[in-house]
A and B are shown apart, each in its own frame.
Chain A
Amino acid sequence: QKEVEQNSGPLSVPEGAIASLNCTYSDRGSQSFFWYRQYSGKSPELIMFIYSNGDKEDGRFTAQLNKASQYVSLLIRDSQPSDSATYLCAVKRGNQGGKLIFGQGTELSVKP
């Protein structure tokens, strides 16, 4: 079992719809959770991070964390074609310093 798992996709949604991206993790010692967006051939850029159970909203993006079920999700409201990218879920454990463990990423395609 991979430590951080994401559906590779592609996930296709129409413009204006809500895109829902999911991530599960195996280590209950994981403390913080990051969502990065990566356009093809470019470097990952941070969208949000979350470390408390519940929801965290930033503009069109909402991160949801459920530590009991060991999953974290990212919702993108009013999806735009410019949101088409690969979304990487990354996890930090409490006892491993700054190490980020990445999932494989979910490719999102927003169709006009």
Chain B
Amino acid sequence: EAQVTQNPRYLITVTGKKLTVTCSQNMNHEYMSWYRQDPGLGLRQIYYSMNVEVTDKGDVPEGYKVSRKEKRNFPLILESPSPNQTSLYFCASSPRTGPTYEQYFGPGTRLTVT
């Protein structure tokens, strides 16, 4: 089944404890992206990758890191999480970057930082 997977789905952690949220897609998509979704603010892009070893900042990159060593994986790293990073996170992928290509979303990761 073609899909984007994320792990973990739910995570409660404490301030300053490094964590990684994994994202993997099995559709050989070139483009991958991370979003966070907060009430009243909608979906905001954190980082994106147009291909292996090519990553760039989105609109809200502060406090996050990413890497794209393989085409299928795009992990999101929080080196020192803070309470303001409590949010619902989505990974998405797209075959290409052209205007007619949709993005497919993973199931989401609900992160709580205390």
Contact = CB atoms under 8 A, between A and B. Distances in A.
B106 A43 contact: yes
Nearest to A32: B99
Contacts of B45: 99-100
16 contacts: A32-B100, A34-B102, A42-B107, A43-B105, A44-B90, A51-B100, A97-B31, A97-B97, A98-B48, A98-B94, A99-B33, A99-B45, A102-B42, A103-B42, A104-B40, A104-B42
A35 B48 CA distance: 21
Interface residues of A, number: 23
Most chain A Cβ neighbours within 10 Å, of B41, B99, B108 = B99
Nearest to B45: A99
B51 to A, nearest CB: 10
Interface of A: 31-32, 34, 41-46, 49, 51, 88, 90, 92, 94, 97-100, 102-105
Interface string B30-65: 010100000011111100101000000010000000
A97 B54 CA distance: 13
Nearest to B33: A98
Interface string B15-41: 000000000000000010100000011
